[in-house]
């Protein structure tokens, strides 16, 4: 078989996955039925949210002071948390991708722990370290009078803690996939490591940084467990949208649905913006 025939077969398989490997005819029901059930399992709850939404009073409820307050606080804290993650996470990802040092695998494993750690446990851990009697918080309180728990700054810290792994993983992957020849060429021309990082490396991995920042921001926006444990649930100060949903669900379910719709809309926009990065085909 000639290379041109192989290439044509590969292109046809990409356009029509059903033609790959000689697989033709109807797909087996043993795969179709659970696949459809899986789609229904994931989509029906979201459909229920849309069906039960108070569309006629949606604009009025979105304009309510407590809703706007929670929305504003969520947007501000998620953005600040993302900036913190960018400031700390991009150099960390570069270190993991470009520098070989003892314990690198352990460091990488520790960085990914917040991905699987229950958020409430993360909030407890932050309290033990940054609380007034914590390992570092006690010193911050004594030396600078700085108290992070149950404050807006505490919300930013909690959100950054759970969101940073998304950024680090994304940027490290982009750094490993980047072509090192451009950095090597800049080095042979006498550029310093900082100049190479700023003028060559960052532009090369900019799409990965952008994708990681978007995921980081979305994760911070939806954070609940670590926030309520470390920062509390004080309206106007620490009550973000997920916390407002939880509180409104007990007293005013329609307000909880409205806030949930806002978070759902943000999630859909995030996924749509990153679709081309995750899927190469339409």
For 69-92, write each residue's pLDDT tens digit. 888 999 999 999 999 999 999 999
Report whether 72 contacts 242 (CB < 8 A): no
pLDDT at res. 191: 84
Please count the helices (runs of H) and the strands (runs of E) in the chain: 15, 0
pLDDT at res. 267: 80
pLDDT at res. 246: 87
pLDDT band at 266 (very low <50, low <70, confident <90, very high): confident
Residue 20 pLDDT > 80: no
Residue 10 pLDDT > 70: no
Q: Give the mean model confidence (pLDDT) for residues 125-153.
A: 88
Higher pLDDT, 190 or 85: 85
Residue 281 pLDDT > 50: no
For helices 152-177 and 119-130, angle between their N-to-C axes, nearest 10 degrees: 110
Residue 117 pLDDT > 70: yes
Domains and CATH numbers, the chain: 76-238 (1.10.3720.10)
* φ and ψ at residue 79, rounded to 5 degrees: -65, -45
Distance, in Å, from the CA atom of 239 to the CA atom of 44, rounded to the nearest integer, reads 29
Residue 105 pLDDT > 50: yes
- What sign for the dihedral angle of Cα 172, 177, 178, 181? positive
Q: Give the mean model confidence (pLDDT) for residues 242-270.
A: 83
pLDDT at res. 21: 46
pLDDT at res. 17: 52
Higher pLDDT, 251 or 188: 188
Higher pLDDT, 227 or 48: 227
């Amino acid at each position: 078989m000639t290379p041109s025939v192989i290439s044509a077969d590969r292109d046809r398989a990409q356009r029509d996955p059903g033609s790959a490997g000689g697989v033709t005819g109807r797909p087996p029901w043993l795969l179709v039925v659970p696949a459809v059930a899986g789609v229904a399992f994931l989509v029906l709850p979201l459909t229920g949210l849309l069906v039960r939404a108070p569309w006629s009073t949606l604009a009025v409820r979105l304009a309510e002071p407590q809703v706007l307050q929670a929305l504003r606080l969520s947007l501000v804290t998620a953005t600040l948390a993302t900036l913190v993650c960018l400031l700390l996470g991009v150099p960390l990802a570069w270190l993991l991708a470009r520098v070989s040092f003892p314990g690198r695998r352990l460091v990488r494993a520790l960085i990914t722990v917040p991905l699987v750690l229950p958020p409430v446990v993360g909030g407890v851990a932050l309290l033990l370290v940054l609380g007034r009697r914590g390992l570092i918080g006690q010193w911050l309180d004594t030396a600078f009078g700085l108290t992070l728990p149950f404050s807006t700054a505490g919300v930013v810290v909690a959100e950054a803690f759970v969101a940073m792994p998304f950024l680090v993983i994304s940027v490290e992957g982009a750094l490993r996939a980047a072509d090192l020849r451009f950095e090597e060429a800049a080095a042979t021309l006498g550029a310093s490591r900082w100049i190479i990082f700023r003028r060559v490396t960052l532009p090369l991995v900019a799409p990965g940084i952008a994708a990681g920042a978007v995921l980081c921001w979305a994760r911070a926006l939806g954070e609940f467990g670590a926030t309520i444990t470390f920062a509390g649930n004080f309206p106007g100060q620490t009550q973000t949208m997920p916390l407002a949903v939880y509180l409104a669900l007990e007293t005013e379910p329609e307000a909880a649905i409205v806030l949930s719709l806002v978070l759902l809309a943000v999630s859909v926009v995030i996924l749509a913006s990153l679709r081309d990065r995750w899927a190469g085909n339409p």
